[in-house]
Amino acid sequence: MTKLATNFAKVIRLAPQGPEQKLSLELLSAGLSKTIGSDFGFSNATSDFTFSDERRSEALWKDRRWYYSLGLMQASIEAEQSNPSRPLGKSGEWAKYFASLSGNPRIQLPQGARTAITAASAVAASAARRTWRAFTRSHCGIEQLASVLSELTSGIDGLPDFHDVFAAHVIVLGVDGLSPGIYALDPATFSLVLVRAGDFTEQTCKLLRGLLAPKSAAFTFVLSADMAALPDVYHGQLGIREMYVHSGFATQKAIEASTVLGLGTLPTPAIPDTMTAELLGIEGVRQNPVYSLTVGTTDPVGAGAGQ
């Protein structure tokens, strides 16, 4: 690892200024910046740091703006170089879980409900998004829900397949075409499997540490990770950290999709593990909740929006 990677505060910001413009790279705590050309390199008098084409593709995924950890990426590169043939593994936690739900009612989501997110619209959505703590109480459509879930689970270049690690549960609060309840997204058929029927608004507020947004939202989804798979899917001791980074990237995609669709979002990564697992009906140790996002229709004048 270079002197820069060792001593620097480990944060890089990639900020596209427009769909046809080059990215700028800023080392936040060092006050240094560089326009990124075709070589995606950074150098100064004491260090020389360059990403491979594969890592550049990961960092510049679909020209979106991400916040990356230099230390994490460098360690991942070193792990790959030291053991490049390590096979990806699956512990099968989610396969067993969905097998246990095989007799439950199932709702097929609209096929092909992908949001048409271009690089320009993604950047615009990132710039325009706001955190909402109240919504309009109006229902969203099942097509909107399907679009958000499709974008959430569609994968990120340079990272493991979403379904090797995560499962998504949807707490339906107000979605046209769906009864209130808790559903698990089955990736094999892109359908929702009913886990528990009923109104879980109050319980969802508790999951969000008392925030009242679910009272006026359309749905909340929760990402849970197959913790037993992390050492094989990621890179040994970095597995937990990379999983949390991956969950944040995936949720950011869902936030962008929601924003493009005119919906507001409230991201909440700090959820109580045990309480959430019990509500979702998952095991809670090997299947561990890690992130949630509450989504709803919004007031055009901005009531309920944060900065």
Q: How far is CA 7 from CA 29, 30, 47, 111, in A?
A: 11, 10, 11, 48
Give the pLDDT confidence score for residue 104 in this predicted structure. Answer: 96
Give the pLDDT confidence score for residue 38 in this predicted structure. Answer: 41
Burial class of residue 53 (count of CB atoms within 10 Å of its CB; 0-12, 13-18, 19+): exposed
Q: Which class is 93-297 in CATH?
A: alpha beta
Highest mean pLDDT of the ranges 27-31, 123-127, 207-211, 212-216: 212-216
Q: How many other C-beta atoms lie within 10 A of the C-beta of residue 224?
A: 29
Give the pLDDT confidence score for residue 68 in this predicted structure. Answer: 37
Highest mean pLDDT of the ranges 29-33, 50-54, 115-119: 115-119
* Residue 89 confidence (pLDDT) above 90: no
Give the pLDDT confidence score for residue 128 in this predicted structure. Answer: 76
Query: How sure is the predictor about 156, in pLDDT bands with cuts at 50, 70 and 90?
Result: confident
Query: How sure is the predictor about 265, in pLDDT bands with cuts at 50, 70 and 90?
Result: very high
Mean residue pLDDT across the chain: 75
- Residues 191-243 have pLDDT tens digits of 999 999 999 999 999 999 888 999 999 999 999 999 988 888 887 677 888 99
Highest mean pLDDT of the ranges 7-21, 86-100, 122-136: 122-136
Give the pLDDT confidence score for residue 116 in this predicted structure. Answer: 61
Percent of the chain with pLDDT over 70: 64
Query: What is the secondary structure of the chain as a DSSP string?
Result: --HHHHHS-S-EEEEE-STTSPEEEEETTTTEEEE--TT-EEE-SS-EEE--HHHHHHHTGGG---EE-HHHHHHHHHHHHHSTTPPP----HHHHHHHHTTTS-EEEPPTT------HHHHHHHHHH--BBS----PPEEHHHHHHHHHHHHS--TTS--HHHHEEEEEEESSEETS-SEEEEEETTTTEEEEEEES--HHHHHHHTTT--GGGT-SEEEEEEEEGGGHHHHTTGGGHHHHHHHHHHHHHHHHHHHHHHTTEEEEEE----HHHHHHHHT--SSSEEEEEEEEEEE--TT-TTB--
Report how far apart the first and last C-alpha atoms of the chain are (Å, whole number). Answer: 38
Give the pLDDT confidence score for residue 81 in this predicted structure. Answer: 53
* Residue 30 confidence (pLDDT) above 60: no
Say which residue, 201 or 122, is predicted with more confidence.
Answer: 201
Return the closest-CA partner of residue 257 out of 174, 170, 171, 146: 146
User: Where are the chain's structural domains?
Assistant: 3-82, 93-297
Percent of the chain with pLDDT over 90: 44
Q: Which residues pair with 184 in a beta bridge?
A: 169, 193
Q: How many other C-beta atoms lie within 10 A of the C-beta of residue 19?
A: 13
